[in-house]
Amino acid sequence: MQVLGADISDLVFDYLNNKDFVGKEYSYINKEIERVCGCKSFFPSQDQYLLFKEELERTEKFCFSDYRAEYGDFQTNMALAEQVTKHLSAKGVKPEAVIEPTCGKGNFILAALRYFPTIKQIIGIEIYSQYVWQCKINILDYFLSNPQANKPAIQIIRANVFEIDFNMLKKQISNSNILVLGNPPWVTNSMLGALDSTNLPQKTNFKKQKGLDAITGKGNFDIAEYIIISLIKSFETSDGCLSFLVKNSVIKNIIYEQCKNRFHISDLEELNIDCKKEFNVSVDASLFFCTFNSQPALHCQVYDFYNGNALKKFGWVKGGFYSDIQADDSLENIDGKSSMVWRQGIKHDCSNVMEMEREGGLFRNKLNESFELEEDLVFGLLKSSDLKAQVVNNSKKYTIVTQRYVGQKTDHLVNYPKTYKYLQKHIDEFRKRKSTIYQGNPDFSIFGIGDYSFKPYKVAISGLYKTMHFTLIMPQEKPLMVDDTCYFLSFDSLKDAVAVHTLLNTEITRSFLKSITFPDAKRMITKEALMRVDLAKALEFSNRSQLIKEANAVFSTINDKASIKAEDFDFIDKKDVQLELF
């Protein structure tokens, strides 16, 4: 049976329908309910009470919308909520006050009532009125079924968590041991933007990303992260702890920012859960735990939530952020700054028009159009999936390189009439590109282009794959380009390219990259991670004769008579840091 969208048990139904309540004001009924279950202001007003009663008499079926994307709605099942509170209780957590900032139907509140007999006060906040009712009804049902249970003062507040002043809330519960518990919404600000939703904090650029980073998505953040950070800021000096189910990426960001924020939190733990089983979604998420009022910790220990096995530790070591802090700290030796600048491949956001295959003397695009182009601006294009081999020297796909450097005027395109005609025909596709980087730039602009793109040899890696494998790219008459899912270094000399390719594929470099990257990130390899590989140090810690052997094996696969000697690696030691122009 449902009332105002909330499920109601027979026990609660009979209780609310009891004869004593007939003709009584809501304030009288509220007092009775508070006496039974500790829940304050069960009915916020007489009108709400009358509405509820009317619905109770009708007991109409209401339906929860199945998927409330805007609210990042993934209710925690009761079994998991109980496992979490049981785990916290076994750890010695004995809260006097519990705050659930987005409490939903209230499973964490009920689990807390069962496992923490020490609680004197509970505050739950939730935006969705059906869940607020459900939560209050569940609490009433719990106390009607367990009349002897410890009865804290309970407030379930219908409110937008972004409008709650947690510092004020803190004053209400001062001097108590606090547990901030829950599972905040699973949604990012860019998803909310796409949904045209306003379920956002007012200051959306809370990470203070500037310029290109904000435009290219680095300013994108999880709402859960904003909520946790707000709570930590308010409660870091209180006694108690926080325990939240959140995406691993949120935990990673909190620990990453901890180097700068130095919040007074410690005992940082990430307990991995199986989201497919618990929420039927394919997301990497965990129970995050931290203790307040302590020396700022910079490491997070990762466990399996179900069996308690320790899996790894991540965080800061000597100023470097590691995804896997090894007992053997030799990898830290190559942590530094690359002497060569890593580049991201070409970005055009117009694959229907800009990606094509050869067909006889013509080209065919993704729109299945066949057309002619002058060869001058056509270059072979490699994508992540093309970087599986050790050496690549041809491509299936081609692209039109409309500029030689970012921001170059595109007037010269008229000199290539067939290419110009083809591009003009599709000008609307280019003008439709959403990313703001194209605004104010010439028509047909591309990004990730510069002198470095036109060097003949490249050493590249996919940002999307977890294999940590570098590919040597040879020219196919002209230099081959890579797309923006890949990162590369480029060279004028084949010997230099082979030397760096060999060094990057050594165990020490790959293990180092593994220790600083997160396999559950959307883009595991980033420019930042690659720039941390100090090639000169990697060379110092590598076995030079082994390097020579491996480099010469590469030469033999490309049928090049050249061979490499020990001194051919020396340039890696000497290279000055190149200036990054874009």
* Site of interaction with ligand SAM (CB under 6 A): 71-76, 102-104, 107-108, 125-128, 131, 160-162, 182-186, 199
Q: Look at the alpha carbons of 264, 267, 272, 273 in this order and tell me if their dihedral is positive or negative.
A: negative
For residue 184, the minimal CB distance to ligand SAM (Å) is 6
**Cβ closer to ligand SAM: 185 or 448?**
185
For residue 223, the minimal CB distance to ligand SAM (Å) is 7
Distance CA(469)–CA(558), nearest Å, equals: 18
Tokens found for residue 569 = 């690696």
Tokens found for residue 432 = 């439709």
Sheet with 153-158: strands ordered across:
39-40, 153-158, 121-126, 97-100, 178-182, 240-247, 285-291, 266-272, 299-304, 310-317, 320-322
For the CA atoms of the chain, what is the radius of gyration? 30
For residue 308, the minimal CB distance to ligand SAM (Å) is 22
**Cβ closer to ligand SAM: 128 or 288?**
128
Could you tell me how many helices (H) and strands (E) the chain has, helices first? 21, 24
| Geometric angle at alpha carbon 284, from 283 and 289, rounded to 5° | 130
Query: With contact defined as beta carbons under 8 Å apart, do 453 and 473 qualify?
Result: no
Query: With contact defined as beta carbons under 8 Å apart, do 482 and 460 qualify?
Result: yes
**Cβ closer to ligand SAM: 111 or 356?**
111
For residue 89, the minimal CB distance to ligand SAM (Å) is 17
**Cβ closer to ligand SAM: 95 or 184?**
184
Query: With contact defined as beta carbons under 8 Å apart, do 162 and 200 qualify?
Result: yes
For residue 20, the minimal CB distance to ligand SAM (Å) is 33
Residue 461 has φ and ψ, to the nearest 5°, of -140, 150
**Closest Cα to residue 547, out of 575, 577, 508?**
508
Q: Which residue is nearest to ligand SAM (CB)?
A: 104
**Cβ closer to ligand SAM: 99 or 547?**
99
For residue 231, the minimal CB distance to ligand SAM (Å) is 13
For residue 119, the minimal CB distance to ligand SAM (Å) is 17
**Cβ closer to ligand SAM: 243 or 502?**
243
For residue 291, the minimal CB distance to ligand SAM (Å) is 21
For residue 136, the minimal CB distance to ligand SAM (Å) is 14
- Hey, how many other C-beta atoms are within 10 angstroms of the C-beta on 208? 9
Sheet with 457-462: strands ordered across:
343-344, 486-491, 457-462, 471-473, 391-392
Tell me whether residue 346 is exposed, middle or buried, using C-beta atoms within 10 angstroms of its C-beta: 0 to 12, 13 to 18, 19 or more. buried
**Cβ closer to ligand SAM: 98 or 255?**
98
For residue 246, the minimal CB distance to ligand SAM (Å) is 9
Distance CA(472)–CA(457), nearest Å, equals: 7
**Cβ closer to ligand SAM: 230 or 238?**
230
**Cβ closer to ligand SAM: 279 or 491?**
279
The distance of Cα 254 from the centroid of its chain, to the nearest Å, equals 11
Tokens found for residue 360 = 């006889």
| Geometric angle at alpha carbon 137, from 186 and 21, rounded to 5° | 155
Distance CA(275)–CA(281), nearest Å, equals: 6
**Cβ closer to ligand SAM: 196 or 428?**
196
Distance CA(344)–CA(453), nearest Å, equals: 10
- Amino acid identity, residue 492? D
For residue 378, the minimal CB distance to ligand SAM (Å) is 49
For residue 104, the minimal CB distance to ligand SAM (Å) is 3
**Cβ closer to ligand SAM: 93 or 482?**
93
**Cβ closer to ligand SAM: 192 or 480?**
192
